[in-house]
């Protein structure tokens, strides 16, 4: 049995090689992410193509089924989270962790729509994404714990479950979500 594709390899295998086709592919991912965040899993494929500035045929050439689009958006989100985690290495540990967690909330909202559409199915793609996300984010938490900024009686799974729970609740507006997240994150700070 061959080794499963990594998250990076999965997306690279799907992305077209021609520059114009790659731009369309990327535009479709951005448009789909926005549409899923706004309208959930039932977002219209025609609307996604329109938002991306391409025809529906271009969408189907890149993503033959709705599932292909869901998986590609999900993988792209995880890749973005991984890149962001790496880019925060020079920031103070608390700021780096909090910045990443705020981006994670956006990801969690997109993930919820995709998971609903796929009825919670744990595909190899989702399992690889989860592993990739934990591998990139855990060093942020560990560095904050080593610096004494974050309590040490928790791990990344605890933290992401807490933040995912907040992201899954319906709020009056984004301001309220941000405020509730700030209250919860204050609870993970180390106290002298």
> Does residue 100 form part of some domain?
yes
Q: Is residue 138's pLDDT more than 90? A: yes
> Does residue 96 form part of some domain?
yes
> Does residue 191 form part of some domain?
no
Count structural domains, the chain. 1
Confidence of residue 1 (pLDDT cuts 50, 70, 90): very low
* Residues spanned by the domain of 62: 7-186
Q: Which pLDDT score is estimated for 122? A: 65
> Does residue 64 form part of some domain?
yes
Residue 97 phi, psi dihedral angles, 5° rounding: -65, -45
Q: How large is the average pLDDT for residues 139-166?
A: 94
- CATH number of the domain encompassing residue 150: 1.10.357.10
| Spatial distance between the Cα atoms of 67 and 73, rounded to a whole number of angstroms | 10
Q: How large is the average pLDDT for residues 33-44?
A: 85
33-37, 51-55, 98-102: least confident range? 33-37
Q: Which pLDDT score is estimated for 127? A: 78
Question: Looking at per-residue confidence, does 188 or 8 come out higher?
Answer: 188
> Does residue 192 form part of some domain?
no
| Spatial distance between the Cα atoms of 123 and 32, rounded to a whole number of angstroms | 20
> Does residue 2 form part of some domain?
no
Q: Is residue 58's pLDDT more than 80? A: yes
Residue 79 phi, psi dihedral angles, 5° rounding: -60, -45
What DSSP character marks residue 78? H
Q: Which pLDDT score is estimated for 187? A: 93
For CA atoms 101, 104, 109, 111, the dihedral sign is negative
Confidence of residue 168 (pLDDT cuts 50, 70, 90): confident
Q: Is residue 2's pLDDT more than 60? A: no
Q: Is residue 143's pLDDT more than 50? A: yes
> Does residue 178 form part of some domain?
yes
Q: Is the pTM of this model over 0.85?
A: no
Question: Looking at per-residue confidence, does 87 or 2 come out higher?
Answer: 87
> Does residue 51 form part of some domain?
yes
Question: Is-contact 163 98, C-beta < 8 A?
Answer: no
Q: Is residue 137's pLDDT more than 80? A: yes
Q: Which pLDDT score is estimated for 99? A: 95
């Amino acid at each position: 049995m061959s080794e499963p594709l990594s998250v990076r390899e999965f997306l690279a295998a799907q992305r077209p090689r021609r520059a114009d086709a790659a731009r369309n592919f990327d535009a479709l991912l951005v448009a789909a992410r926005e549409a899923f965040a706004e309208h959930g899993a039932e977002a219209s494929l025609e609307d996604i193509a329109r938002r991306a500035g391409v025809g529906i045929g271009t969408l189907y050439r890149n993503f033959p089924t709705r599932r292909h689009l869901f998986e590609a958006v999900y993988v792209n989100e995880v890749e973005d989270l991984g890149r962001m985690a790496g880019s925060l290495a020079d920031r103070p540990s608390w700021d780096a962790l909090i910045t990443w967690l705020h981006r994670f909330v956006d990801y969690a909202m997109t993930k919820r729509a995709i998971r609903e559409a796929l009825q919670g199915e744990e595909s190899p793609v989702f399992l690889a994404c989860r592993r990739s996300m934990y591998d990139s984010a855990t060093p942020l938490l560990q560095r904050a714990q080593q610096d004494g900024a974050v309590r040490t009686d928790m791990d990344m799974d605890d933290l992401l479950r807490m933040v995912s729970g907040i992201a899954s609740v319906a709020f009056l507006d984004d301001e309220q979500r941000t405020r509730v997240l700030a209250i919860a994150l204050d609870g993970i700070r180390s106290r002298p």
